[in-house]
């Protein structure tokens, strides 16, 4: 064998070995990295370095009363085993109600809660995020049953721009009838696209008080003719800006909608590629589903406090234990930013219709830059609860 030939053979053999090592390494290394990502003890200092901050404190020990607060947000329990949303935002005597699920029978529960805080019986703004009953059943009651629109005087109503609901669908028809009644009373009804484009009297920003405003956020699924696979992506989204503090509500928006919302927000507010927004309070998108609160979205809108409106662990939508609300994927994503996560309701036995409060009605109150969280049942954060320990894990929360 000539030297040259030997050297060629050697090169080939070495290349094969190198390729084999590379190939095996390529398969094995990510396993270790993935392992590391979800089981290693990651300190909050490391997270602070990664994201600018990691929120694990700064919640006021003393409770800010709703009466004293500059602003309070109330995540309301709905009185049944079904997951759903109903959020009251109170700024002085001005109120914003976002959604009213989960079923027609929830209306009396919501009414009795609202009566404590909406003394003048006027909801200045009502936002109906999308046409799913767990969000709009309270606005879509049968003709002989009172809806929220019948029980309270509503100022401006902002609804979804698009829906996949068939014109013949019963609930959707009820909703259309209720909306016509609101219009007949001379109230303003706008859709989200009109708001973001400021057309026909609709506004993208509504002043709620000195220094507090409601901003309707744009995403592409508002556009005329836009088709979303999931009704959830039509959700009306908004930000409450309270001085420097921001509170984010995205209905059931899913990954595609979240990406569009984040990109458009960055453009509108002149943010650069790596910039992020500190969000004081984030209502977990889509009840903490695995299709929302996506990694990119949370990297743009980094939450400090997160409230999940759901009946935790309920098999209403899935029997896969990892995917019941709040899902394992959601925990993986949110726990990277905060451990201040609260949940409204806990499912005991879905088939028997048994449920109880998790945290209960959650009230987040802001005053002079301080924030407090006070719940009707208990104030335990999710990671310290028995339900979490039995059903979920997190590399961030479980770190020693
Ligand atoms: Zn929903």
Task: Tell me the per-residue pLDDT of 275-328, one tens digit each, with 9 for 90 and over.
Answer: 999 999 999 999 999 999 999 999 999 999 999 999 999 999 999 999 999 999
Place of tokens 């400021």: 198
53 versus 104: which is more confidently predicted? 104
Least confidently predicted of 270-274, 304-308, 356-360: 270-274
Distance 343 CA to ligand 1 centre (A): 14
Radius of gyration of the chain (CA): 24
Residue in 335, 328, 340 with CA at minimum distance from that of residue 387: 328
Signed CA dihedral, 165, 170, 172, 173: sign only: positive
pLDDT band at 26 (very low <50, low <70, confident <90, very high): very low
CA of 152 to the centre of ligand 1 (A): 23
What are 311's two structure tokens? 């009946």
Angle at 306 between CA 102 and CA 275, to 5 degrees: 125
- What is the Cα–Cα distance from 70 to 60, expressed in whole angstroms? 14
From ligand 1's centre to the CA of 224, what distance in Å?
Answer: 23
Asked if residue 15 has pLDDT above 90, the reply is no
Computed over every residue of the chain, the mean pLDDT equals 89
Question: How far, in Å, CA of 288 to CA of 366, rounded?
Answer: 24
Q: Which two tokens stand for residue 253?
A: 């928006």
| Token representation of residue 125 | 């703004």
Q: DSSP letter at 228?
A: -
Distance in Å, CA 84 to ligand 1 centroid: 5
Calculate the CA dihedral of residues 52, 54, 55, 57 and round it to 10 degrees: -110
The backbone torsions φ and ψ at residue 274, rounded to the nearest 5 degrees and listed phi first, read -90, 0
* 76 CA distance to ligand 1 middle (Å): 14
CA distance 76 to 5: 79
Query: What is the four-CA torsion angle of 53, 324, 221, 187, rounded to 10 degrees?
Result: -100
1 Cβ neighbours under 8 A, 6+ residues apart: 9
Which pLDDT belongs to residue 40? 40
Q: What would the mean pLDDT of 27-55 be, rounded to a whole number?
A: 44
pLDDT score recorded for residue 400? 54
Mean pLDDT score, 368-396: 94
Cα dist. 30→25, 36, 131, 330, 369 in Å?
A: 8, 9, 42, 22, 43
314 CA to centre of ligand 1 in angstroms: 13
Centre of ligand 1 to C-alpha 49, Å, is: 34
Distance 313 CA to ligand 1 centre (A): 15
Query: Measured in whole angstroms, how far is the alpha carbon of residue 96 from the centre of its chain?
Result: 16
How far is the CA of 219 from the CAs of 27, 137, 215, 256, 263, in angstroms? 38, 24, 13, 9, 9
Confidence of residue 33 (pLDDT cuts 50, 70, 90): very low
Distance from residue 244's CA to the centre of ligand 1 (Å): 29
Q: How far is the CA of 353 from the centre of ligand 1 (A)?
A: 19
| % of the chain at pLDDT higher than 70 | 84
Q: Does the pLDDT of residue 225 top 70, yes or no?
A: yes
DSSP-assigned states of every residue in 5-27: HHHHHHHHHHHHHHHHHHHHHHH
Q: pLDDT-derived band of residue 57, with 50, 70 and 90 as boundaries?
A: very low
Average of pLDDT values for 35-47?
45
pLDDT computed for residue 7 by the predictor: 53
d(CA 326, ligand 1 centre) in Å: 12
Residue 83: CB atoms within 10 Å: 26
Percent of the chain with pLDDT over 90: 81
Strand order in the sheet with 212-217: 205-209, 212-217, 237-242, 245-249, 277-283, 301-312, 341-349, 354-357
pLDDT tier for residue 399 given thresholds of 50, 70 and 90: confident
How many A from CA of 333 to the centre of ligand 1? 19
Q: To which H or E segment does residue 238 belong?
A: strand 237-242
Q: Ligand 1 center to residue 132 CA distance, Å?
A: 7
How far does the centroid of ligand 1 lie from the alpha carbon of residue 8, in Å? 65
Burial of 195 (0-12, 13-18, 19+ CB in 10 A): buried
Long-range (24+ apart) CB contacts under 8 A made by 385-388 are 385/358, 387/312, 387/313, 387/346, 387/358
pLDDT value at residue 369: 85
How far does the centroid of ligand 1 lie from the alpha carbon of residue 398, in Å?
Answer: 29
Are 389 and 330 a contacting pair, CB within 8 Å?
A: no
Give one DSSP letter per residue of 275-306, joined into a string.
Answer: --EEEEEEE-GGGG-TTSS-HHHHHHEEEEEE
Q: From the CA of 83, how far away is ligand 1's center (Å)? A: 7
- pLDDT of 46 reads 59
Fold of domain 42-391: Metallo-beta-lactamase; Chain A (3.60.15)
The pLDDT assigned to 370 comes to: 87
pTM of the shown model: 0.86
- The reported pLDDT for the residue numbered 105 is 95
pLDDT band at 140 (very low <50, low <70, confident <90, very high): very high
Measured in degrees and rounded to the nearest 5, phi and psi for residue 388 equal -60, -50
d(CA 149, CA 221): 26
User: Is the backbone of residue 272 left (phi > 0), alpha (psi -120 to 50) or beta?
Assistant: beta
Q: What is the pLDDT of residue 25?
A: 43
Contacts of 374 (CB under 8 A, 6+ apart): 63, 64, 362, 363, 365
For residue 129, report the distance from its CA to the centre of ligand 1, in Å: 9
Contact by Cβ (8 Å): 273, 300:
no
Tell me the CA–centroid distance for residue 136 and ligand 1, in Å. 9
309 Cα–ligand 1 center, Å: 9
């Amino acid at each position: 064998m000539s030297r040259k030939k030997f050297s060629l053979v050697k090169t080939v053999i070495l290349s094969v070995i190198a390729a084999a090592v590379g190939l095996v390494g390529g398969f094995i290394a990510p396993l270790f990295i993935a392992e590391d990502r979800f089981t290693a003890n990651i300190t909050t200092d490391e997270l602070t370095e990664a994201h600018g901050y990691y929120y694990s404190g700064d919640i006021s020990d003393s409770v800010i009363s709703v009466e004293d607060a500059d602003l309070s947000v109330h995540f309301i329990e709905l009185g049944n085993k079904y997951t759903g949303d109903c959020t009251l935002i109170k700024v002085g005597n001005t109120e914003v109600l976002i959604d009213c699920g989960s079923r027609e029978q929830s209306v009396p529960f919501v009414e009795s809660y609202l009566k404590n805080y909406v003394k003048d019986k006027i909801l200045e703004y009502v936002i109906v995020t999308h046409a799913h009953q767990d969000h709009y059943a309270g606005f879509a009651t049968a003709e002989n049953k009172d809806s929220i629109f019948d029980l309270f005087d509503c100022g401006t109503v902002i609804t979804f721009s698009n829906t996949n609901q068939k014109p013949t669908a019963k609930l959707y028809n009820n909703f259309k009838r209720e909306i016509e009644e609101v219009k007949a009373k001379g109230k303003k009804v706008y859709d989200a696209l009109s708001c973001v484009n400021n057309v026909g009297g609709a506004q993208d920003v509504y002043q709620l008080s000195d220094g507090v405003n409601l901003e309707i956020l744009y995403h592409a699924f508002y556009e005329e003719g836009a088709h979303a696979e999931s009704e959830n992506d039509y959700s009306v989204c908004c930000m409450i800006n309270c001085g420097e503090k921001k509170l984010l509500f995205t209905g059931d928006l899913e990954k595609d909608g979240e990406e569009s919302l984040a990109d458009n927000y960055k453009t509108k507010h002149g943010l650069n590629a790596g910039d992020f927004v500190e969000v004081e309070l984030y209502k977990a998108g889509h009840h903490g589903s695995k299709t929302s609160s996506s990694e990119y979205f949370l990297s743009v809108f980094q939450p400090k406090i997160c409230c999940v409106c759901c009946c935790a662990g309920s098999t209403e939508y899935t029997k896969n234990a990892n995917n019941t609300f709040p899902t394992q994927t959601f925990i993986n994503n949110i726990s990277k930013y905060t451990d201040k996560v609260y949940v409204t309701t806990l499912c005991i036995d879905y088939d028997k219709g048994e449920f109880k409060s998790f945290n209960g009605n959650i009230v987040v109150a802001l005053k002079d830059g301080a924030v407090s969280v006070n719940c009707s049942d208990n104030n335990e954060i999710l990671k310290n609860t028995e339900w979490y320990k039995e059903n979920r894990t997190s590399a961030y929360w479980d770190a020693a």
